[in-house]
Structure 1
Amino acid sequence: MRRQRERLPRVLVEQAGNRCAFPDCEHDQYLQIAAIRAMSPGGPRYDPEVPTGPGSANFIILCASHHRLIDAEPHRFSVAILQEMRREQLACVQPAGDISHRPGSQEQSGGSAMTTLRDALVAWNERPEDADEDYWHRLFEDVPQVLAAAVPGSAMQLGSKCYVGGKSITNRHGSIVDFLLASRATQNVILTEIKRPSSPLVGPPYRGVFMPSNELSGSVVQVLGYRDALQKDFYSLAANSGSVRFEAFDPRALLVIGDLESKPLSADQRRSFDLFRNGLKDVIVITFDELFNNIADLLAMTRDHGD
């Protein structure tokens, strides 16, 4: 699988406008990538309870002098202060046509720095070989716009690891969906389940076609089970959701699974896969590469429009 190891530093420096993020510093030579939260125990601002995520939101571009300063005095330069430096720098240099920095287009997750669609695309290109579901869950949690781009219309993320009902009278066997999206216009929910890019999509041949893989078919049934639980327990869930408003009238589900680029299918396998997912009534199935190609196209269009 192709890797672009040098792309992350280059993109970070370009996003920073090729200058230091420290206020009033004009240095544009010998810039360095500094961690807002240290990646290892003992480092400045290290917090084992707050994962940094796989994107670039944990990094800030500084000159060598200010890099040494923030790491030598972490009591003065807290996570919140460095995140604000990064946000102001990106806001100053972001092209006007890039939707990832327009007001209202970003959300914060658990107090972490706001990240961008471009960050998510870099994370996809730089993904480790053994990236598991937790890796992708953190990325989609950090950059809610990615999953929103996978569904028609305008959607927002209500939350992650959401309880959607299904517990028995013994308080067991509850259903926890990875993400809950909602239409901005109608508040109708979209249940979202995340698997891995390495998940197989097709299984053995069957009378001239290929069966869906066990993981694909099982994931479809899994998210349909969540949908069923949500509809049955909707009124009790809505009553206990505080200020979070949502609806569940014939809701759809979204499943992100597999990678057609790194694990290409034969023409017959691709036909069978498309027949299977296109025949699903209530579940949208999209592969990771399709999702991130959509993001790349969106960024390219907004950049061209801004130019």
Structure 2
Amino acid sequence: MPSGLVALLDDVAGITKLAAASLDDIGAAAGKAGSKAMGVVIDDTAVTPRYVVGLSPERELPIIFKIAMGSLRNKLFILLPAALLLSAFAPWAITPLLMLGGAFLCFEGAEKVLEALGVGGHAEAEEAPMGAAQLEQSKVSGAIRTDLILSAEIMAIALADVAEESILTQGIILAVVGIGITIGVYGVVGLIVKMDDIGLHLAQRKAAATRALGRGLVKGMPVLMRFLSIVGTAAMIWVGGGILVHGLNVLGWHAPEAIIHHASEAVAHGGGGLLGWLVTATLSGVLGLIVGGVIAFVVHQIHKLRHRH
């Protein structure tokens, strides 16, 4: 009996070590897959605060919570099953779909650049006045629709990075990535939208240093929001361009990725890894801006033709 008990305990210990190793592998894979989607995550973080503009401050956090729950539903109940079905039955479609999503990101980024330059942009439709509840619901619905597109990119990027794993492991990793990124993004968004309130609270304290910090936060928030908007637009363009470059390489056209890789390596040897990354991001962004600009031009021409008829 004692020897049998010892053997059983050894088996349990072995199974525990194996499970722990598997969890470590899943955690590492989830971290790696999630890091590949950081550009889209930055854009998601930059875009979402806009949806609480014009609403009462006490409703800001409840609205962010609603959007976060919608984002989780998007990732876990729509995109995760779709990604696993693609991986199981049509893995060949992952790269083309990812490239379509990358092209859409380039288009959206180019649209924002054109709007900033005063060229084209989406026409603003006149809307009937809405009550507070209707306005809140409209903004939440719009944010969740936008999140669906960005989340699809996040899940597709993560899926492409774990395509060699088993379906079960893929599902666990994608779920971990989806939940982790949602908590991270909307936690940061909640902090951003309440930062001015925190600043006002600190500005009313007795200590001079605390009051100065509070006034700095209040004055700095508009600058931060503009910065996030710029970073979000840039992220859309360079991530979209990078997805297109990688997809072309997978489909057999190696020249764009090879050119960018060699340019990045040449700069990295002289100036370090950060400069190499900047070259990669810049060249990917240039390609993304060109592709997005062409798509935007075509979309605008179609829009004009539809209005004529």
Instruction: Establish whether TM, by shorter chain, passes 0.5.
Output: no
The structure richer in helix per residue is 2
Using the size of structure 1 for normalisation, the TM-score is 0.23
Using the size of structure 2 for normalisation, the TM-score is 0.23
Larger Rg: 2
